[in-house]
Amino acid sequence: MSRLKDLKTPVFWAEGHPGKLDRESWIVSVDGFCKNPKIFTWQDIVSIPKTIVDARLTSVTRFSVRGKWGGIKISDVLDAVEAHDEARYVRFWSVRNIYDTSIPIDVVRKEKTILAYEFDGEYLEEDYGGPIRGFCPYLWGYKSAKSVVKIELMDRYVSGFWELRGYPDDALITKGRVHDLNQGGRIRYIPDGEVTTFIDE
């Protein structure tokens, strides 16, 4: 069991569950509009200073789960590859290259957007996008690609897996009901934007 499982966090793999993934041999390649494309190994990633973000993953399917997501700031990755000024969007690809999603670079550079490998001090398991996933609490959960293998710096926007199937490209979180998994799935009301508080009705 893991903390996310204990909280009954849904496991979404629209493209099918990838099965067992090997943490120690994991690599994330970063290329596109940058001066210095790079391949980050698992060891490279865990040797970059860790950031811990206390924030919520909130799905358009109306669940929200809060915890301490540990990983590295994607802005550090962008600096390491020396992103060009033309890079305006960051495209994340999940293992097997079926699921992708893209986020404006200014949102990616915000401090809570990370490449996450931990939740509440435990390594992420495959079900929840381990070894390494995107995590962006500012937008709906479909922008947080699981088990990321490739990051592309783009000069233009392309719709990803869920965006091509009808979900909004901007993925702005909109007010309404969510099931708060930290309170046993209790229904709470959220305002627009990153979920940091609830509204009492």
Ligand X SMILES: Nc1nc2c(c(=O)[nH]1)N[C@H]1C(S)=C(S)[C@@H](COP(=O)(O)O)O[C@H]1N2
Site membership for Mo ion, residue 58 (CB under 5 A): no
Closest separation between CB of residue 61 and Mo ion, Å? 5
CA dihedral 144, 125, 71, 160 (to 10 degrees): -20
Alpha helices in the chain (DSSP H): 3-6, 42-47, 74-80, 105-108
Site membership for Mo ion, residue 59 (CB under 5 A): yes
Sign of CA dihedral 19, 24, 25, 29: positive
Nearest to 141 by CA among 59, 68, 65: 59
- The letter for the amino acid at 28 is V
Site membership for ligand X, residue 181 (CB under 6 A): no
Site membership for Mo ion, residue 9 (CB under 5 A): no
Nearest to 165 by CA among 61, 18, 14: 14
Site membership for Mo ion, residue 134 (CB under 5 A): no
Q: Could you say which of 51, 64, 94, 113 contacts ligand X (CB under 6 A)?
A: 94
**Residue 129 contacts which entry, Mo ion, ligand X, none (Cβ below 5-8 A, type-dependent):** ligand X
DSSP state of 185: T
Select from 43-51, 61-69, 122-130, 191-199 the region that touches Mo ion (CB under 5 A).
61-69
> Per CB under 5 A, which of residues 178..197 are in contact with Mo ion?
none
Binding site for ligand X (CB under 6 A): 9-15, 59, 94, 99, 128-129, 141-142, 144-146, 162
Binding site for Mo ion (CB under 5 A): 59, 61, 141-142
